[in-house]
Chains A and B, each alone.
Chain A
Amino acid sequence: MNPRIVVANLIVSIKSFYRARSTLFFMIAFPIILILVFGALFMKQDNMSFDLCVQDLDHTDSSAQLVKTLDIDGRFNVIKIDPAINATQYTKDNKLNLVLMIPKGYEGSFMQRMALHNPDASVTLTYLYDPSSIFVSMKMQILNSVFAGINQKMSGKPPFIRSAETSILAKKYRFIDFFVPGIIAMSVMTLSLFGTVNLNTELRQKGVIRKLSTTPITRTDWILSNILYQFILAVISTMAMLLVSYAVFRINLHIDAWLPLFIVLDVFAFVGIGMILTRFAKDAESAAAAANAISFPMMFLSGSFFPLEMMPGFMQTVARILPLYYVNEGLRASMVFNDHMAALRYSAIIGVFAAVVFILGIIATNWEEGQ
């Protein structure tokens, strides 16, 4: 390896990149847009409240008190429906997913239970719902828990079983805190993979690689300078992502030496894969298609966006053979859980993988028959 050659190559790559302003924008903007969109979504989930339509057919003080209780609970934004209209038709016409119907006679039953202590007095509230809605079951569960609380209070006895929540984490983390390390891992992967494939196939098609093969630059120099270049881009991109995440979502993550280490390993692994793809793809289009075929399943299966627990068992097994999974888990271990032993374990796995594909990348890069 010749450091002067690596640096010369790096300077050319950085100048070319800097002068292509649109690439600069999209490279930094894409992961930030993802963080903003998903972050906003998850923030809403953390403090989620639902609209709840209520049709009070009883129209009494007691039924009004029940509606008020639902409103005060904070998890529902109560919308009252005129008792005179057909609730089923109204639900269909307005594409509502749930309407709670308080029946006529609610106050009568309530008074029988509370004043006359009649244990048989009860009331049935109707959930008029659209089963195709993804949120309706969650709303019904919340309603059930609210009503269970009311029933408990009306019984006049303290609950027998109580629950206490104790987080395994020292601090309270939100979903965005778990999401950001996954997006860092994913964007470094796409930058390294597509950057390598696009650059190398373009230069090969144009004949620049053929010219380079008549100079003293070696395949190792070339790949190392590619890795160094992609690492610099990855650091810029990661810094931008972290800054936006801190500024907008006040994320709570540990930043230490593990972060650059995992970025380096991520870059090594995917530049190596990019080099291998470049060797076997005939042109830029087929190389980009191959890179897509690798990166898309990796994005969705390795836990960058969704927790692995959401996937079926066999897909979780698949995830554990994907290199991005170990980068995701390693970054979360260090940035979220501050678990150095786990980070070390994941870095060792991805490190071995990166070393193997780096060597294969060098072997696969064949300049002699470069055109």
Chain B
Amino acid sequence: MAKEAEYAIEVEKLTKRYGELLAVDDISFNVRKGEVFALLGPNGAGKTTTVEIIDTIRTPTSGKASILGMDVTKRKHEIVPRIGVLPQGFSSFDRITVRETIQYFSRLFCCRKTDVDGLIELVNLTDKAQEQYKNLSGGLMQRLGIAIALVNDPEVLFLDEPSTGLDPRARREVWKLLLGLKNKGKTVFLTTHYMEEAEFLADTVAIISKGKIIAMGSPDALIESNANYLVLTLKPVDEKAIEIVRTMGFEPVHDNHEDIKVRVEHMDDVQKILNTIKDGGALLLSLDVRKPNLEEVFLKLTGEALRKNPAGGVAE
């Protein structure tokens, strides 16, 4: 009897090269059964190539990837019925309704027992069940994509940027849906460039940059080990407060609003900055102190923002 695999996904020295371009550079990691694993990185970092090798869409140049103990390049036909995939930029047949689309994919998996209505309800598309795909909004299309990824009741779910292009409300709805899947014990492999998504959903986050995994661990552990400081956010009335902070030896950074962010070591530093601004006669409209997030971890590790904004600062 075959030994039950300890990990849902095992990746070892995986490399993918397109001519001169090294898209995935010798990466290794494991995903435990039942966990949500997020591959976090900016566009072009190699997230999609990595997930598409693991979920059998692409073949690696070298290295090995296994799902449930099965090599993805050798046992695709055994793997496919046990995984569910939402590819990046998911799309379906324009003139086929929500219900028909789910039925179609269910038939591809030869699943007689798929609860089509249950899936439609799960992704909250009951009102749109008879709507053709082309008439759905971006958020509804993504939810249908997730429903399709679930038609075969997969053990491992791959979601490639499930909330990209969605408005904040639609994104929250997708997160809620994914949280439900996590609670059902599904192993979820997620790629995203939204650090909030990774922080909110993931048990383990791997940060990928230029095809390499540069850090991996739980969100808390990553922040603890890579960003042991506080972030002070100030909204000054004018430039005077910024000058004062700068003369104190701190480096204020503009974000995409009118706020500035200041990295401080202790709460004492916060008090010191506030007192100096007050003594200097400058005024503040608001202030906020918080722990750093994965965005700052990524910034610290790579020197780049996960997403760029026009002002050149770090996006929220």
Contacts and interface: CB of A to CB of B under 8 A. Distances in A.
Interface of A: 2, 4-5, 7-9, 11-12, 15-16, 19-20, 203, 206-208, 210-217, 367-370
B109 A215 contact: yes
B90 to A, nearest CB: 6
Contact of A207 (B55, B56, B89, B148): B89
Contact of B107 (A5, A211, A214, A369): A5
B212 to A, nearest CB: 23
A213 B108 contact: no
A210 B87 contact: yes
Given A207-B87, A214-B57, A370-B57, A8 B93 contact: no
A206 B91 CA distance: 6
Return the 4 tightest CB-CB contacts between A and B, nearest first. A8-B107, A214-B85, A206-B91, A19-B95
Given A206-B91, A216-B77, A5 B96 contact: no
A72 B59 CA distance: 81
Interface of B: 55-59, 77, 80-81, 83, 85, 87-96, 100, 104-105, 107-110, 132, 145, 148
A211 B52 CA distance: 11
A20 to B, nearest CB: 6
Nearest to B158: A214
Nearest to B85: A214
Contact of B108 (A20, A206, A215): A215
Given A12-B100, A19-B132, A207 B108 contact: no
Given A11-B104, A210-B87, A368-B56, 8 more contacts: A4-B107, A5-B110, A207-B90, A211-B145, A213-B57, A215-B108, A217-B108, A369-B59
Contact of A211 (B83, B90, B100, B109): B90
A5 B108 contact: yes
23 contacts: A7-B107, A9-B104, A12-B100, A15-B95, A15-B96, A16-B93, A16-B96, A19-B95, A19-B132, A20-B95, A207-B87, A211-B145, A214-B55, A214-B80, A215-B105, A216-B80, A216-B81, A216-B108, A216-B109, A217-B108, A368-B56, A369-B59, A370-B57
Contacts of B92: 208, 211
A225 to B, nearest CB: 11
Most chain B beta carbons < 10 A, residue from A8, A211, A367 = A211
Nearest to A12: B104
B95 A368 contact: no
Nearest to B48: A371
Nearest to B83: A214
Contacts of A208: 91-93
A147 B308 CA distance: 92
Contacts of B100: 12, 15
A214 B104 contact: no
Contacts of B110: 2, 4-5, 216
Nearest to A210: B87
B202 to A, nearest CB: 22
A339 B192 CA distance: 66
A43 to B, nearest CB: 40
B51 to A, nearest CB: 11
Contacts of B105: 215
A163 to B, nearest CB: 62
Interface of A, helix, strand, loop or mixed by DSSP: helix
A8 B57 contact: no
Nearest to B107: A8
A214 B56 contact: yes
B67 to A, nearest CB: 12
Nearest to A202: B94
A216 B93 CA distance: 18
A216 B84 CA distance: 11
Contacts of B88: 207
A210 B88 CA distance: 9
Contacts of B59: 368-369
A212 B59 CA distance: 16
A263 B80 CA distance: 36
B300 to A, nearest CB: 33
A99 to B, nearest CB: 62
A203 B93 CA distance: 8
Nearest to A19: B95
B133 to A, nearest CB: 10
* Most chain A beta-carbon neighbours within 10 Å: one of B55, B59, B83, B89: B89
Nearest to B59: A368
B97 to A, nearest CB: 9
B58 A369 contact: yes
Nearest to B108: A215
A141 to B, nearest CB: 58
Contact of B57 (A7, A12, A20, A368): A368
Nearest to B151: A215
A308 B69 CA distance: 63
Contacts of A207: 87-91
A21 to B, nearest CB: 10
Contacts of B107: 4-5, 7-8
B263 to A, nearest CB: 40
Chain B CB within 10 Å, residue with most, of A20, A214, A217: A214
A215 B80 contact: yes
B77 to A, nearest CB: 7
Contacts of A369: 58-59
Contact of A12 (B55, B89, B96, B132): B96
A207 B93 CA distance: 10
A212 B149 CA distance: 11
Nearest to A369: B58
A16 B94 contact: yes
Contacts of B94: 16
Contacts of B85: 211, 214
Contacts of A20: 95
B95 A8 contact: no
A211 B104 CA distance: 13
B297 to A, nearest CB: 31
